[in-house]
Structures are given as C-alpha cells and as structure tokens.
C-alpha cells in the first residue's frame, strides 16, 4: 500500500497469549515506535494490529498492569520455595513468572514476597513495582525478514519487544507470550 505522501506502508499485527494456557490476553497496550509511533490494544482474543505503518525501523513493545485476578496465590509461593530448594525444575518462562524480585533467579525471598503480596502486606511485587508493570512479554520469533526478538530483562525493566529493522513488507504475525509476575503455577485466566 502507499500512504498519501507516497511512502510505502505495511499492516503489522499479532497475538498475545498466556504462557500456560494459550488464552488470549485482552487489554494489553501495544506500542510501535521508530519510523511510526502508533498505539493499539489487544481485543478479547489477544489480537492487536497496526494499519498502514510506514516502512522503516520499528519496535513493538507490549505493556500491561493489573488484572491478576486470583492467579497469584499461596500455591505460587509454595512453587517458588520448591524451586529455590531444588525440588522442582522450571523453564525460562516460569523463571520470569517466579522471579518476583527480578534478580534472575528464584530464591526463598521470591516465595516470601509472593506470600506477602497475597496476604496484602505489600501492594505490588518488587519487580512489578520497580518496572511499572505486572507482566512481562516474551516475543515469539517467526523468521520474518529483519525481525529481532528481544527477551525481557527485569534487572533493567525491559518488558520484551520485537524489532523489525527495517519493516519492509507485511511481516508474519508478531506474537508474544505473556507472563504474569508471581503466577508460577500458570493458572491465570
């Protein structure tokens, strides 16, 4: 497509699904910056889209706060304690969920912070407080031309993003997996 000023454009979109259930995540704010500054929000199925994005380098960054529901529980704290003492192995995605201190590992302190949050002694988990978001987003690489998936880094509060350098065609779906901090068991919905 051609924009009114003659610059080539492309439609960009994707889905954001929960790490444990594949359920779409609604009401995620998705920002595009670079050659285009645009904002979108996921619908009830976790889908988002940008129409007529100008070609050039772009970054796609989702953000979300709140809407944890009853997903974070004492069971999640128990899960974190089990990981901390070596009774349970986890993959990198669950590490993001359980590492509520944001130090790159799961320790007894993470389990304690989850319990404190659950009983109301703290209003937010430490990583959520520091980063201003209750969620992290893991980009899913699709092999689209010029796509770079940048994983979240909680020690520097980078929520995860997809970079298209440059956006030069209608790329395949630009999808993310969402992780709610503290939901080690993955029971959010």
* Residues 49-76: tens digit of each pLDDT: 988 888 888 899 999 988 887 889 999 9
- Indicate the pairing of strand 175-180 with strand 38-41: unpaired
Number of neighbours of residue 114 by Cβ within 10 angstroms:
28
The reported pLDDT for the residue numbered 170 is: 62
Token reading at 110: 């993470």
Does 114 sit behind a cis peptide bond, omega within 30 degrees of 0 on the bond before it? no
Residue 24 in contact with residue 13, Cβ under 8 Å?
Answer: no
Q: Does the structure show a pLDDT above 50 at 106?
A: yes
Look-up of token digits 């009983």:
119
* pLDDT, tens digit (0-9, with 9 covering 90-100), for 162-187: 888 877 666 668 999 999 999 999 99
Give the pTM: 0.86
Q: Give the residue-averaged pLDDT of 106-117.
A: 97
């Amino acid at each position: 497509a051609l924009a009114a000023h003659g610059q080539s454009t492309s439609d960009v979109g994707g889905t954001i699904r929960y790490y444990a259930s594949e359920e779409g995540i609604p009401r995620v704010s998705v920002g595009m910056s670079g050659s285009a500054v645009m904002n979108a929000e996921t619908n009830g199925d976790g889908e988002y889209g940008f129409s007529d994005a100008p070609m050039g380098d772009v970054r796609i960054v989702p953000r979300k706060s709140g809407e944890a529901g009853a997903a974070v529980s004492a069971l999640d704290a128990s899960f974190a304690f089990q990981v901390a003492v070596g009774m349970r192995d986890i993959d990198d995605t669950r590490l993001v969920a359980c590492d509520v201190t944001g130090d790159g590992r799961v320790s007894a302190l993470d389990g304690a912070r989850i319990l404190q949050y659950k009983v109301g002694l703290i209003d937010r988990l430490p990583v959520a407080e520091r980063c201003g978001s209750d969620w992290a987003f893991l980009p899913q690489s699709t092999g689209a031309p010029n796509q770079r998936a940048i994983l979240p880094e909680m020690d520097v509060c980078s929520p995860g993003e997809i970079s298209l350098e440059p956006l030069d065609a209608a790329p395949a779906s630009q999808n993310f997996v969402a992780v709610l901090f503290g939901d080690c068991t993955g029971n959010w919905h």
